[in-house]
Homo-oligomer: A and B are copies of this chain.
Amino acid sequence: MSYRPPLEDVRFLLGDVLDFDGRVTGLPGQAESTLDAVLDVLAEAGTFCANELAPLNLPGDGAGATLGPDGVSTPAGFREAWRTLVAGGWPGLTCDPEYGGSGLPHTTQVVFEEFLCATNLSFATYLTLRHGAYHALRLHGSAEQRDRLLPLLASGRVAGTMCLTEAHAGTDLGLIRTRADPDEAGGYRVSGTKVFITAGDHDLTENIVHLVLARLPGAPSGTKGISLLIVPKIAADGKRNGVTCTSLEHKMGIRASATCVLTFEDAWGELVGEPHGGMRAMFTMMNAARLSVGIHGLGLADGAYQRAVRYARVRLQGRALGGAARPDLEADPIIVHPDVRRALLRVRSQVEAGRALALWTAIELDVAHRHDDPVVRAAADDLVALMTPILKAGLTELGWEATSTALGVFGGAGYIRETGIEQYVRDARIAPIYEGTNGIQALDLVGRKLPEGAGRLLRRFFHPADAWLERQRGNPTLAEFVDPTTRAIDTLRATTLWLGERGASDREEAGAAATDYLRLFFLTASCYMWARMAAAALDPQATCTPAFREAKLASGRFYIARVLPEAGALAREITAGKASVMGFPEAAF
């Protein structure tokens, strides 16, 4: 059961690779957020997740969230764990001190969420949805709303939700029908039915703030007529508001996370921001949430990897191909087998690169939010905007691949529920879907992020990468990383140019390429991270241990040799164009 938070890797990434102290410490409000200070907090967070949340994960899956006459109950132990969480101040980790938070950089939250998701994704959903509501209200709420609600959300006394989806309106939010009619007192009466509402009801907090997309009377059709409203579960007078969880979904996974049908019947609500300005506010929330969902995939991948490694060390089957490794035992542990090592390294080398990408982006997010130079802020914001769909889709696909691979290491035992690993696979399958399916992420990348500012966002990636690679060119010990990375980036650039030319005049070309292009970008950016990590590990100034350095370089070599070649295949698939995708007769499917 024991989960080992990857603190050594986080220290290496933030300290030796990504210059956390240079980029984040000293930003306005972050004078005390040194690497050491942040790591101390994260060590405590890791202990909390390993000790309090991991043991609740499998029982929570078995019990599931349940709906009774008084609403939704979470599984045994969740309420106690939430109380511990609140008592430790964890919900406010990165919330503003003026609202009672600890004010740490967002990077801290990203690492914390990896630990949460590695140990108990269902539990994590209650916390992260609340976090999304905090940020949406912080950016779009009025001063009065902020003062009234943010302290409650920051403390974890009140939770939040995002009520977007309706049965007929998932990806296509322009179809939303929920209505909000003004009442006499300046408020609104909200009516409609929302589905797939994560953490839509539960017994963890005294109240829940629902952020609801709805139409005001006379609103334009489509996404331009959507407004954002706050609808509390318990109204200001202490009575139940007109919002009810009328059904709980029976899901493949994250069964302890309550996925609700919420029925709004004349529920009292208040407007956030301007009428018909709801989509903009929701997008703010979705972008933060998308990075967070990427971390779901990363956390599950590492949690599953750690379990698979532990099993591979103790499961005795067969003999090493080069002769018995443990002649004292009746068979060798399966970790001696090349195919088992290959499977584990495929996960490990992608997890390490994925974590590097996530923390790189997280640091830029902190810069984008806090730097006092607007030019620096804008540059960082561009990179975050570019990387958000890549991380959401890339890391959640990794979560799916990694958990299934880990299950495979367990063989038949992996298929048994009590072993616990198949829960990781089931939990992992939602992350590619929610917060915008990965197909939508890919369309966001090729349809919005690529063309934006005539490629301005792309340059935020390519220019620093090119410059960094150029600086390493003379270093022979790094050539095994730098040369393939340079070729990979050239391939990505050529494919991007091809797509820019074709996709600009033919949106179907962009659509037919989107998913493969996003994966190509993810693999290439991961490779760039590997080159950066290898350089840092070989730097005599690095603080990592020799054993850590050796493992890091070996994992990177595996990535270059056994994962990166997929990028070449993707480039060929993309540049084959849309003909074979659109040429198939629709009636024949």
Contact = CB atoms under 8 A, between A and B. Distances in A.
Interface of A: 165, 168-172, 175, 195-196, 249-253, 309, 312-313, 316-318, 321-322, 330-331, 335-345, 348, 400, 404, 407-408, 411-412, 414-418, 422, 425-426, 429-430, 432-434, 437-439, 442-443, 507-508, 510-512, 514-516, 547, 550-551, 554-555, 557-558, 560-563, 565-570, 572-573, 576-589
Given A341-B589, A411-B437, A567-B569, 4 more contacts: A322-B508, A338-B508, A338-B581, A345-B584
A171 B589 contact: no
B168 A316 contact: yes
Contact of A433 (B175, B195, B250, B412): B412
A288 B277 CA distance: 63
A107 B339 CA distance: 33
Contact of A417 (B170, B251, B432): B251
Contact of A561 (B433, B443, B558, B579): B579
Nearest to A331: B172
Contact of A550 (B321, B426, B565, B588): B588
B411 A589 contact: no
Contact of A341 (B165, B172, B313, B582): B582
Given A175-B330, A433-B408, A562 B573 contact: yes
A172 B335 contact: no
Contact of A317 (B170, B337, B514): B170
Given A339-B511, A411-B171, A558 B581 contact: yes
A172 B318 contact: yes
Instruction: State how many copies of this chain the complex holds.
Output: 2
Nearest to A251: B415
A558 B580 contact: yes
Contact of A411 (B170, B337, B568): B170
A229 to B, nearest CB: 22
Q: Which 6 A-B pairs have the closest CB atoms?
A: A338-B511, A551-B588, A561-B576, A321-B507, A338-B512, A252-B422
Q: Is the interface of A mostly helix, strand, loop or mixed?
A: helix
A429 B407 contact: yes
B555 A584 contact: yes
A213 to B, nearest CB: 16
A5 to B, nearest CB: 16
Contact of A412 (B415, B434, B586): B434
A560 B580 CA distance: 9
A317 B508 contact: no
A406 to B, nearest CB: 12
Contact of A321 (B344, B508, B557): B508
B584 A341 contact: yes
A433 B558 CA distance: 25
Nearest to A418: B250
Contacts of A250: 416-418
A429 B415 contact: yes
B554 A585 contact: yes
A165 B412 contact: yes
A575 B166 CA distance: 50
